[in-house]
């Protein structure tokens, strides 16, 4: 039988490692969740505007409309439920957790996670979209550190995808 090794977690206030019984996992307050959702929604248009000013090709939009029920269902299931859940578990759960467990500082583990998160979105979003995603993904990474769980990262990710997959497309902004 292999002995269990206590999980090392990071005290988000001092960014110092802590172990096992010292760990308390708080949940995000509704105020902090609301603040990060608002900031997350604001980052997309700001990053897109800055990209246009800088001469970088801007995001061209999605290749679908919300006129058919099956398209709406696909956007809701794929883009709003499955994608945020899978991405948060893989990136801010597994990848961030693995890098932290290997001794990387929270800042380095977070930076690597953010960079790779942006890279996988590049083929679909281009340069301007990747800039926006990089800036935006700092927020769920901070929430992952702050609350030491994926709930804080998942909620604004879902809200962001509701915004980008339904509201922006539905209102015809892209």
Q: State the residue for tokens 């893989």.
A: 90
**Token pair of 12 as six digits:** 């988000």
> Considering the chain, what percentage of its residues have pLDDT values greater than 90?
33
Residue 118 lies in a domain: yes
Report helix angle 151-162 to 30-53, nearest 10. Answer: 50
Residue 104 lies in a domain: yes
How high is the pLDDT of residue 53? 74
Report helix angle 106-147 to 30-53, nearest 10. Answer: 140
Residue 128 lies in a domain: yes
Share the mean pLDDT of the chain.
77
The total number of structural domains in the chain stands at 1
- Give pLDDT tens digits for 99-144: 999 999 999 999 999 999 999 988 888 888 888 899 999 999 999 9
How high is the pLDDT of residue 76? 87
Distance CA 25, CA 149 (A): 7
Q: With 50 as the cut, is the pLDDT of residue 14 above it?
A: no
Could you list the residue range(s) of the whole structural domain that residue 128 is in? Answer: 27-55+74-170
pTM here?
0.66
């Amino acid at each position: 039988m292999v002995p269990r090794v206590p999980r090392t977690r990071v005290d988000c206030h001092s960014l110092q490692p802590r172990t096992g019984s010292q760990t308390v996992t708080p949940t995000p307050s509704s105020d902090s969740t609301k603040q990060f959702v608002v900031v997350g929604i604001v980052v997309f248009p700001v990053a897109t505007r800055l990209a246009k000013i800088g001469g970088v090709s801007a995001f061209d939009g999605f290749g679908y409309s919300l006129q058919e029920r099956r398209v709406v269902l696909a956007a809701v299931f794929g883009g709003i439920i499955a994608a945020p859940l899978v991405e948060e578990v893989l990136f801010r759960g597994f990848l961030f957790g693995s890098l932290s467990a290997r001794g990387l500082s929270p800042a380095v583990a977070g930076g690597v996670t953010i960079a790779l998160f942006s890279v996988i979105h590049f083929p679909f979003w281009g340069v301007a979209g990747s800039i926006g995603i990089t800036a935006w993904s700092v927020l769920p990474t901070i929430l992952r550190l702050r609350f030491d769980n994926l709930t804080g990262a998942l909620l604004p990710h879902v809200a962001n995808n509701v915004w980008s997959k339904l509201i922006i497309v539905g209102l015809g902004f892209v």
